[in-house]
C-alpha cells in the first residue's frame, strides 16, 4: 500500500462522512498539537494498566517514515513498532541519519515508539550494537530480534552437531542479553513455527537458563504458536510458558484450511495449511487470550500485523484495530 493509496482511501472516507444525509455541516475543529512522546512521557505510558496498541510499520512498508506518523495517528494507534532492517523503514547502515529522525517524527506526532523490530540474531552482526544503543537512548524499551533458521535436516545420530549448534545459540542469546543491559533495552526472542530457537518456548527457555528474566524476553505470537502446534488452542501452553519473560505480543489471526479443523480443532502435521485472516475470523479465542494477558497483568505493547490481502487495506486495518480494542476493554475494564 502506497502513501497515495492511504491518503485517497482516508480522504474518500472523510468525504462520505461529511456528505451523509441528515447531517449538518459543522465547523472544522481547531487543530491541536499532540504532546510529544519523550522518553519520560513514554515511561509514564508504560505504567498504564492497558497495553499500548502499536502498528507494525512493516504493514505500511511503502510509506516513508517521514509521512507515516500522521497516518498511524489518524488511524487510531497508540504507537509504532518500527522496522529497523534492510528493506525496513530504517536501514541499519543509515542509523546515524535516519534512526533519530524516525523516532522524532513519531514522537512529535504524539505516538509511542516502545519497540523496534530487527533481523539481528547476534550482537556481533554489523550495526547491531549501534541499533541497540541508539534505540535505547531514544526511548525504545524493547528490541525484537530476527528469526533463526530451522533445525538441521541432516541426520545427526550422535547428537554432537545439534549440541554444538545449541551451544552457539546459547552464546548468542547470552551476549545479546549483556549488550541489551549495556544499552538499556531488552532483546526479545519471537516465537516462530519451525525456527530454532523459537519454535517452542520451553526449548528456547532451556537455552536462556541462567539469563536474567529482566535482561531477555519474548515477543509472543499466538498465530505462530498455533501453526507450530497444529492446534486451535496451541497458543495456550506456549503463552503460559512465555509469561515470566513476556515483553510484547504480536497480534494477527489465522484460519486453518483442512477437513479435520472444524470438528476436531486439530490438523494433520503433514497436511495442515494456514491462511492469514482478519482479526476475529480465525481460530484463536481472543476473549480468552486477552483475559489470560490481563490476569498476568501484562501491559507491554501489542504489535498489530496485517498479513492478509484486502481490497481496502485501510478499512481492514481499522476494523482489526477496533476488534482488538474491544477485546482489550473487555479484559481490562476501567
Per-residue pLDDT of 80-124, as tens digits, reads 999 999 999 999 999 999 999 999 999 999 999 999 999 999 999
- Residue 232 is placed in which grid cell? 486451535
Q: Which residue has the cell 516465537?
A: 191
What's the whole-number average pLDDT of the chain?
A: 87
- Asked, as a colleague might, if the bond just before 231 is cis with ω within 30 of 0, I would say no
- Region 283-309: mean pLDDT is 97
Q: What is the pLDDT of residue 182?
A: 97
- pLDDT score of 20 more than 50: no
86, 127 in Cβ contact below 8 A? no
Paired sense of beta strands 253-257 and 273-277, if any: antiparallel
- For residue 49, what pLDDT is reported? 85
- Asked if the model's pLDDT at residue 321 lies above 80, the reply is yes
State the pLDDT at residue 30.
46
Contacts of 267 (CB under 8 A, 6+ apart): 230, 231, 256, 258, 260, 261, 273
Grid coordinates given for 53: 496498541
**Rounded to 5 degrees, what angle do the CA atoms 300, 301, 304 make?**
150
Q: Which DSSP string corresponds to 165-223?
A: HHHHHHHHHHHHHHHHHHHT-EEEEEP-TT-TTTS-HHHHHHHTTTS-GGG-EEEE-HH
- Tell me which residue of 186, 179, 122 sits closest to 148, measured CA to CA: 122
Query: All 3 cell numbers of residue 56?
Result: 507494525
Provide the pLDDT for residue 259: 46
Q: Which residues contact residue 153 at a Cβ distance below 8 angstroms, ignoring those fewer than 6 apart?
A: none
pLDDT of residue 257: 83
pLDDT of residue 294: 97
At 170 the pLDDT is 94
Share of the chain above pLDDT 70, in %: 86
**Alpha carbon distances (Å) from 330 to 74, 76, 239, 283:** 24, 18, 19, 19
Q: For 113-131, write each residue's pLDDT tens digit.
A: 999 999 999 999 999 999 9
276 three-class SS? strand
pLDDT at 197 over 60: yes
User: pLDDT tens across 146-178, in order?
Assistant: 999 888 777 778 878 878 888 999 999 999 999
Fold of 36-151+159-331: TIM Barrel (3.20.20)
Domain coordinates in residue numbering, the chain = 36-151+159-331
Burial of 24 (0-12, 13-18, 19+ CB in 10 A): exposed
Which residues are CB-neighbours of 133 under 8 A, at least 6 positions away?
182, 183, 185
**CB neighbours of 75 closer than 8 A, spacing ≥ 6?**
55, 314, 317, 318, 321
Single pTM value for the model: 0.85
Listing DSSP states for 77-128 in one string gives: -SEEEEEBSTTSSB-GGGHHHHHHHHHHHHHHTT-EEEEEE-----TTSTTH
Amino acid at each position: 500500500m502506497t502513501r497515495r493509496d492511504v491518503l485517497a482511501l482516508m480522504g474518500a472516507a472523510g468525504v462520505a462522512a461529511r456528505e451523509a444525509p441528515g447531517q449538518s455541516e459543522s465547523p472544522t475543529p481547531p487543530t491541536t498539537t499532540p504532546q510529544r512522546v519523550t522518553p519520560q512521557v513514554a515511561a509514564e505510558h508504560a505504567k498504564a494498566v492497558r497495553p499500548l496498541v502499536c502498528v507494525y510499520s512493516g504493514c505500511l512498508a511503502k510509506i516513508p517514515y517521514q509521512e507515516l506518523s500522521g497516518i498511524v495517528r489518524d488511524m487510531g494507534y497508540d504507537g509504532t513498532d518500527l522496522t529497523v532492517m534492510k528493506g525496513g523503514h530504517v536501514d541499519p547502515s543509515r542509523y546515524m541519519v535516519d534512526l533519530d529522525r524516525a523516532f522524532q517524527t513519531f514522537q512529535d506526532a504524539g505516538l509511542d515508539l516502545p519497540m523496534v523490530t530487527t533481523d539481528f540474531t547476534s550482537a556481533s552482526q554489523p550495526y547491531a550494537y549501534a541499533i541497540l544503543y541508539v534505540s535505547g537512548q531514544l526511548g525504545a524499551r524493547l528490541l525484537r530480534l530476527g528469526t533463526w533458521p530451522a533445525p538441521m535436516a541432516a541426520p545427526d545420530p550422535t547428537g554432537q552437531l545439534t549440541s554444538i549448534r545449541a551451544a552457539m545459540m546459547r552464546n548468542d542469546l547470552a551476549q545479546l542479553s549483556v549488550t541489551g543491559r549495556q544499552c538499556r533495552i531488552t532483546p526479545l526472542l519471537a516465537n516462530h513455527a519451525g525456527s530454532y530457537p523459537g519454535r517452542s518456548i520451553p526449548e528456547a527457555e532451556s537455552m536462556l537458563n541462567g539469563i536474567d528474566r529482566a535482561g531477555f524476553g519474548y515477543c509472543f505470537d499466538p498465530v505462530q504458536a498455533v501453526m507450530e502446534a497444529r492446534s486451535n488452542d496451541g497458543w495456550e501452553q506456549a503463552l503460559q510458558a512465555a509469561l515470566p519473560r513476556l515483553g510484547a505480543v504480536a497480534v494477527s489471526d489465522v484460519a486453518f484450511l483442512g477437513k479435520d479443523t472444524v470438528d476436531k480443532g486439530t490438523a494433520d502435521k503433514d497436511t495442515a495449511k494456514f491462511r492469514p485472516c482478519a482479526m476475529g475470523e480465525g481460530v484463536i479465542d481472543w476473549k480468552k487470550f486477552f483475559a489470560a494477558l490481563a490476569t498476568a497483568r501484562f501491559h507491554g505493547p501489542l504489535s498489530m500485523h496485517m498479513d492478509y490481502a484486502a481490497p481496502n487495506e485501510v478499512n481492514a486495518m481499522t476494523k482489526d484495530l477496533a476488534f482488538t480494542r474491544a477485546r482489550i476493554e473487555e479484559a481490562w475494564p476501567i
